[in-house]
């Protein structure tokens, strides 16, 4: 039973437009949520996080929104750039244990 779900395996977005990646979770006990970005043949790299007591966290072009009542979070990237093409993993954590979604492959089109 997947606790963290990314229902879109892939997403294509025009360069300069907004990319929105979505994630749903089932366990209301998670303390924090994270987004990781992964390039081929590399390990995931941390992108942005949000505490369960917040509803928004912004870092440059990246903003994460958390809707606890819907158990849903999203990552907004604006404007999208070619280097943003990668696989994005949503993850949820409690204490030191992190559970990852399956990932969404983002393609930024020229």
Partner 1 sequence: GAGVSQTPSNKVTEKGKYVELRCDPISGHTALYWYRQSLGQGPEFLIYFQGTGAADDSGLPNDRFFAVRPEGSVSTLKIQRTERGDSAVYLCASSLSRSDIYNEQFFGPGTRLTVL
- Chain residues in the site for partner 1 (CB under 8 A): 4, 6, 31-32, 34, 36, 41-46, 49, 51, 89, 91, 93, 95-103
> How many CA atoms does the CB half-sphere of 64 hold within 13 Å?
25
Asked if residue 12 lies in contact with residue 109, where contact means CB atoms within 8 angstroms, the answer is yes
- The least CB distance from residue 79 to partner 1, in Å, is 25
Pick 49 or 79: Cβ nearer partner 1: 49
What is the number of other CB atoms lying within 10 angstroms of the CB of residue 56? 10
- The least CB distance from residue 33 to partner 1, in Å, is 10
Pick 7 or 14: Cβ nearer partner 1: 7
Whole-angstrom distance, CA of residue 110 vs CA of residue 108 = 7
Pick 50 or 108: Cβ nearer partner 1: 50
Counting runs of H as helices and runs of E as strands, what totals does the chain give? 0, 11
- The least CB distance from residue 105 to partner 1, in Å, is 10
């Amino acid at each position: 039973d997947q606790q963290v779900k990314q229902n879109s395996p892939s997403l294509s977005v025009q360069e300069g437009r907004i990319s929105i990646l979505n994630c749903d979770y089932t366990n209301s006990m998670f303390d924090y949520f994270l987004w990781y970005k992964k390039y081929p043949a590399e390990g995931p790299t941390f992108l942005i996080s949000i505490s369960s007591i917040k509803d928004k966290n912004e870092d440059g072009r990246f903003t994460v929104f958390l809707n606890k009542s819907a158990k849903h979070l999203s990552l907004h990237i604006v404007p999208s750039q070619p280097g943003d093409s990668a696989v994005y993993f949503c993850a949820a954590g409690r204490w030191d244990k992190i559970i990852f979604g399956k990932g969404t492959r983002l393609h930024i089109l020229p």
